[in-house]
């Protein structure tokens, strides 16, 4: 083998080594950060479609997910209380939300923001949320605090809080309100006799994220 | 007129001797203090008492006039029933007797004779572990230092009981077994080691009582979540004894439901039990 042959051989091996390194870097992703996104995720367009839309008059008291906005890969989803006769006294919200982690992830560790329904005094300035992008679980809570009273809907529907999701890859994924919360399986609480009491008989509306 | 020795009976040793020490551990060997107490003599011609201190019990077998040559003595007024001896070597045992003398210069025989060792000031330097949690039982904490003595005590403050104190490592080490009450206040604690004679050493904020995680699961749902948050919200700002207050929501048990309790709940928000 001549010197030139050895050089040629060395040049020939280099591209394979680089390819292995690139694969290794790609394999180091996970945990829900952007490194695990589909390579075409940057071009995704996301939308959120609620399963139904309560219409007053006539709709039962409903806690539902609604689209606030959808821009690029990001969708802001509102948690909306529909109370056609403005009869509910609302003190706080306790949410369990399941989502498809293959399609979407929380925008941040605390992807929640307050809505317009709950007025001061609030226990925390913003909703308290924690998100697990591996299992696809978001639990959230937002509450007034003592000394205080219940709030009622202005109009027929009002957003109690919102959360932001980001598409990871193209597809269709569910976003479901579940009744696994610790508030007797309910998501809304009212203040009664100084105690937080679950508001029963609510209708829950979930939805779907489309990323394409 | 000699006074009857029996009328000047010394009090029991444990209650009679109070020991105080200067705070310089380096001089612990010679900074001991002992105070001896006795009962009053009520004879009308009493002129005073003479307290004797010696390093040998045999001194008190001698007549007071001879014993005085081998003792340290303190003469005190009739109304005084105690005397303190200082600058004592803490490694020695000292013997005490008391006589009474009258206005004619007569001195009684000795009272009963007692002995004591001056207190030793411990030097408490560290402990491990430095924290425990509400509800912990059988938590073994090792305290390091010097001059620890058998029969000493260790205090961790309210809500923490020392269920056993192993002194086999004295003078350098004590091993305390703790039981932390489930409602012990979540806070740092001063820890004090006290030797039998009263000498003590305290380390400020040496031990931390942490929150029992299960207490943040206020509604016992096996998850720290919104149900607990709302429950805490309804009692926010409640104070001990007032409406809405409960130790169930006063997570750190400091007597008020406030932002500190909220911060604990938020810190563990989303944690899933069993706790």
Where are chain A's structural domains?
3-30, 42-211
**Quick check: B99 and B71 in contact, CB under 8 A?**
no
Count CB-CB contacts under 10 A for residue B159.
18
**Tokens 């904490």, located at residue:** B141
How much is the pLDDT for B263? 93
Is residue B113 within 8 angstroms of chain A, CB to CB?
Answer: no
Does domain B123-210 sit in CATH 2.60.40.10?
A: yes
Query: Looking at CA atoms only, how far is residue A94 from chain B in angstroms?
Result: 5
Residue B35's pLDDT is: 87
Q: Does B245 touch chain A (CB under 8 A)?
A: no
The 3-state DSSP class for residue A128 equals: strand
Cβ of residue B140 closer than 8 Å to a chain A Cβ: no
pLDDT of residue B30: 63
Using alpha carbons, select from A54, A57, A104 the residue that is nearest to residue A77.
A104
- 3-state secondary structure at position B154: strand
Where in the sequence of chain B do the CATH 2.60.40.10 domains occur? Answer: 5-116, 123-210
Low-confidence ranges of chain B (pLDDT < 70): 1-31
User: A120 burial class (0-12, 13-18, 19+ CB within 10 angstroms)?
Assistant: exposed
Rounded to a whole number of angstroms, the distance from the CA of B158 to the nearest CA of chain A is 30
CA distances from B269 to A58, A86, A117, A179, B8 (A): 37, 31, 23, 18, 69
How far does Cα B35 stand from its chain's mean position?
Answer: 18
Angle at B70 between CA B58 and CA B147, to 5 degrees: 75
| Residue B117 pLDDT | 83
Residue A106: the pLDDT is 96
Q: Which residues of A touch B230 (CB under 8 A)?
A: 91-92, 94, 141, 143, 183, 189, 196
Provide CB contacts within 8 A for A194, sequence distance 6+. A146, B234, B243, B244
Residue A63, class by beta-carbon neighbours within 10 Å (0-12 exposed, 13-18 middle, 19+ buried)? Answer: buried
CA distance linking residue B46 with residue B37, whole number of Å: 17
pLDDT (0 to 100) of residue A152? 96
Q: Which fold has domain B5-116?
A: Immunoglobulin-like (2.60.40)
* DSSP 8-state secondary structure symbol assigned to residue B135: T
pLDDT score of B2: 37
pLDDT of residue B191: 98
Report yes or no: B48 at the A interface, CB cutoff 8 Å: no
Which helix (H) or strand (E) segment is B263 a member of? helix B259-267
B237 inside 8 A of chain A by CB: yes
The class of domain A42-211 in CATH terms is mainly beta
**B129 preceded by a cis bond (ω within 30 of 0):** yes
pLDDT-flagged residues of chain A (< 70): 1-41, 180-182
Does the pTM surpass 0.90? The reply is no
Angle at the Cα of B249 (from B247 to B252), degrees rounded to 5? 70
- Residue B66: which H helix or E strand, with range? helix B64-67
Integer Cα distance of B186 and B209 in angstroms: 5
Chain A residues with a Cβ under 8 Å from any Cβ in chain B? 91-96, 123-124, 128, 130, 132, 139-147, 181-183, 189, 191, 194-196
Contact by Cβ (8 Å): A80, A181: no
* Predicted pLDDT of residue A38: 53
> DSSP states of B188-212 as a string?
EEEEEEE-TTS-EEEEEEEEEEEPP
* Helical packing angle, B226-234 and B259-267, nearest 10°: 180
Q: Which tokens sit at B55?
A: 């390093």
What is the pLDDT, as a whole number, of residue A4?
37
Structure tokens at B146: 């010097």
Q: Which residue bears the tokens 């380096």?
A: B26
Q: First and final CA of chain A: distance in angstroms?
A: 54
Interface test with B, best of A196, A198, A199 (most B CBs within 10 A): A196
Are B49 and B98 contacting, i.e. CB atoms less than 8 angstroms apart? yes
Question: Tokens at residue B127, please?
Answer: 């402990």
pLDDT digits 0-9 by tens, A12-67: 333 343 333 333 333 333 334 444 555 556 788 999 999 999 999 999 999 999 99
Q: Is B88 exposed, middle or buried (0-12, 13-18, 19+ CB in 10 A)?
A: buried
B contacts of A163 (beta carbons < 8 Å): none
Q: Is B233 in Cβ contact with A123 (below 8 Å)? A: yes
DSSP type of residue B124:
E
d(CA A186, CA A152): 18
- Contacts B231 to A, Cβ<8 Å: 195-196
Place of tokens 């309790």: B261
Per CATH, which fold does B213-267 belong to? Type 1 dockerin domain (1.10.1330)
pLDDT at B29: 53
What is the residue whose two structure tokens read 């720290």?
Answer: B224
Instruction: Give the CA count within 13 Å in the CB-facing half-sphere of A212.
Output: 5
B243-275 b/e (C-beta count within 10 Å ≥ 16 → b):
ebbeeebbbbbeebbbeebbebbbebbbeeeee
Contact call for residues B217 and B227 (beta carbons, < 8 A)? no
B266 Cβ under 8 Å from any chain A Cβ? yes
* Distance to chain B for A28, nearest Cα, Å: 26
CB–CB contacts below 8 A, A to B:
84
Interchain proximity B228–A145, CB inside 8 Å? no
Chain A touched by B232 (CB under 8 Å): yes
- Condensed to tens digits (0 to 9), the pLDDT of residues B126-145 reads 999 999 999 999 999 999 99
């Amino acid at each position: 083998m001549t010197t030139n042959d050895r050089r040629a051989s060395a040049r020939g091996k280099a591209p394979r080594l680089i390819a292995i390194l690139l694969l290794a870097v790609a394999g180091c992703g996970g945990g829900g950060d952007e490194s695990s996104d589909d390579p075409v995720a940057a071009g995704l367009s996301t939308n959120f479609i609620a399963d139904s839309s309560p219409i007053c008059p006539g709709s039962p008291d409903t806690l539902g997910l609604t689209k606030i906005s959808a821009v690029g890969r990001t969708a802001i989803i509102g948690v909306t209380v529909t109370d056609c006769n403005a009869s509910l006294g609302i003190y706080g919200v306790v949410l369990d939300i399941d989502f498809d982690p293959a399609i979407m992830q929380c925008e941040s560790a605390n992807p929640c923001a307050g809505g317009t329904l709950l007025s001061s005094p609030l226990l925390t300035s913003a909703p308290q949320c924690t998100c697990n992008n591996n299992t696809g679980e978001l639990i959230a809570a937002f509450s007034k605090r003592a000394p205080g009273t219940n709030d009622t809907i202005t109009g027929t529907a009002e957003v109690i809080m919102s959360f932001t999701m980001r598409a990871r890859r193209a597809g269709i994924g569910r976003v479901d309100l579940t009744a696994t919360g610790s508030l007797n399986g309910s998501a809304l609480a009212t203040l009664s006799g100084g105690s937080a009491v679950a508001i029963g008989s609510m209708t829950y509306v979930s939805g779907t994220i489309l990323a394409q | 007129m000699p006074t009857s020795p029996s009328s000047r009976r010394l009090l029991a040793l444990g209650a009679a001797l109070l020991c105080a020490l200067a705070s310089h551990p380096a001089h612990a060997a010679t900074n001991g203090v002992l105070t001896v107490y006795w009962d009053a003599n009520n004879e009308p011609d009493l002129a005073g008492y003479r307290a004797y201190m010696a390093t040998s019990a045999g001194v008190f077998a001698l007549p007071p006039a001879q014993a005085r040559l081998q003792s340290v003595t303190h003469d005190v007024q009739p109304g005084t029933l105690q005397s303190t001896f200082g600058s004592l070597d803490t490694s020695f045992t000292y013997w005490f007797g008391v006589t009474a003398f009258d206005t004619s210069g007569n001195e009684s025989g000795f009272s009963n004779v007692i002995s004591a060792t001056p207190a030793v000031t411990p030097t408490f330097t560290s402990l491990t572990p430095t924290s425990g949690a509400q509800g912990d039982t059988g938590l073994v904490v090792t305290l390091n230092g010097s001059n620890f003595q058998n029969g000493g005590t260790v205090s961790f403050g309210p809500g923490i009981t020392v269920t056993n104190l192993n002194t086999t490592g004295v003078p350098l080490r004590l091993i305390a077994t703790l039981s932390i009450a489930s409602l012990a206040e979540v806070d740092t604690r001063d820890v004090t080691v006290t030797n039998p004679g009263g000498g003590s050493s305290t380390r400020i904020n040496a031990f931390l009582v942490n929150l029992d995680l299960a207490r943040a699961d206020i509604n016992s749902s096996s998850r720290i979540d919104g149900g607990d948050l709302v429950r805490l919200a309804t009692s926010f700002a409640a104070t001990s004894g007032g409406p809405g207050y409960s130790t169930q929501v006063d997570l750190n048990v400091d007597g008020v439901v406030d932002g500190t309790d909220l911060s604990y709940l938020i810190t563990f928000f989303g944690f899933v039990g069993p706790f």
